[in-house]
Amino acid sequence: MHQDGLIEFDAVLAIARRGSFRTAALELGLSTTALSNAIAKLERQLGVRLFNRTTRSVALTDAGRKFVDQVGPSVRNIHDAMDIARSQQETPSGTLRINAFPTAAREILGPLLLRFLRCYPQVHVDLVTEGRIVDIVAEGFDLGLRSADLVPSDMIAIPVGPPRSFAVVATPAYFKVNEKPRVPPDLLRHACLRIRLPNGALHRWQFEKDGQPVQIDVHGPITLDEASLSRIAVLDDVGIGYFMESDIREDIEAGRLVRVLEDWTPPLVPLSLYYPSRRNPSAAFKALIGMARQIAE
């Protein structure tokens, strides 16, 4: 929840940045109605419209564009001053906003974030998961969580999380009536769950052995874009699935799923928690970074 006392100004800047009332409201931790009311209040005070709104789009008016250009630097300066004041706190408190891939968030939720919250109950973590890669500074996040090879070069990165790999699995019942694949091309003779990426493209299953990469465009009865749905389908004997190993580790250990092609799924690039250089980090920020570094050691 936004608590800096600058809600009307932050609302204008967020909408201008996002081009949407709904996504700006999500960024600020407000309802769309509350955000609209804040903008309406400010427009009444100023006596001008800041946005032209239709059912499909939001755009700054000329007055709104001039307002954003003049107010933006001042609002950033005020937030910087508040950050400096917060950095003097001894007890970690306040909100930390983190942007992450969904699979990455699942991998570090327990080992890092939930452990952190138990240690620092006055801190609130706002974790936003999405498939697209975002500019965490421009979109108001304190930290990002991505594969190390996707972290921008100008960010400070800390390796986090356990070793990672993909896993190809199906149920024992499925393999009772279907021969296990021995090499990736064998998958073309199986019912496989297709994966749709956040950009809408279909994901080709990635494999590698002895430094030789292989991509397989599998076929099957269903296409899904969420790992939890794929897990349900695979456990119902629909076919073979392709997961982050961490998402179905307990199923493998319990014998509900059988892993195949393990020698074709080598370790992946580790996850990194990353952030821009900060001159006056809050006590909460410093505490989370400290815990992440402990885990990485």
Q: What are phi and psi of 189, to 5 degrees?
A: -100, 10
**pLDDT, tens digit, 9 for 90 and up, residues 165-218:** 999 999 999 999 999 999 999 999 999 999 998 778 899 999 999 888 999 999
Q: How many whole angstroms separate alpha carbon 114 and alpha carbon 98?
A: 13
Q: Give 225: exposed, middle or buried? Use CB within 10 Å, 0-12, 13-18, 19+.
A: middle
Q: What pLDDT sits at residue 7?
A: 85
Q: Give 140: exposed, middle or buried? Use CB within 10 Å, 0-12, 13-18, 19+.
A: buried
Q: What pLDDT sits at residue 191?
A: 97
Counting as low any pLDDT under 70, the low residues of the chain are 1-5, 83, 86-89, 279, 297
Q: Give 102: exposed, middle or buried? Use CB within 10 Å, 0-12, 13-18, 19+.
A: middle
Q: What pLDDT sits at residue 4?
A: 52
Domain boundaries, the chain: 7-85, 94-161+270-296, 166-264
Selected from 3.30.565.10, 1.20.910.10, 1.10.10.10, 2.40.110.10, the CATH number assigned to the domain covering 7-85 reads 1.10.10.10
Do 166-264 and 7-85 fall under one CATH topology?
no
Q: How many whole angstroms separate alpha carbon 294 and alpha carbon 244?
A: 24
Regarding the domain delimited by 94-161+270-296, which CATH topology (the fold level of the hierarchy) does it fall under? D-Maltodextrin-Binding Protein; domain 2 (3.40.190)
Domain 166-264 is in which class? alpha beta
Q: What pLDDT sits at residue 137?
A: 86
Q: What pLDDT sits at residue 86?
A: 65
Q: What pLDDT sits at residue 255?
A: 97
Q: Is the dihedral of CA 172, 177, 182, 184 positive or negative?
A: negative
Q: What pLDDT sits at residue 118?
A: 95
Q: How many whole angstroms separate alpha carbon 151 and alpha carbon 146?
A: 6
Secondary structure (DSSP) of the chain: ---SS-HHHHHHHHHHHHS-HHHHHHHHT--HHHHHHHHHHHHHHHTS--EEE-SS-EEE-HHHHHHHHHHHHHHHHHHHHHHHHHTT-SS--EEEEEEE-HHHHHHHIIIIIIHHHHH-TTEEEEEEE-SS---TTTTT-SEEEEEGGGS-TTSEEEEESS---EEEEE-HHHHHHSPPPSSGGGGGGS-B-EEB-TTSPBPPEEEEETTEEEEE----S-EES-HHHHHHHHHTT--BEEEEHHHHHHHHHHTSSEEE-GGG-PPPPPEEEEE---SS--HHHHHHHHHHHHHH-
Residue 275 · residue 151 · CB < 8 Å: no
Q: How many whole angstroms separate alpha carbon 79 and alpha carbon 273?
A: 23
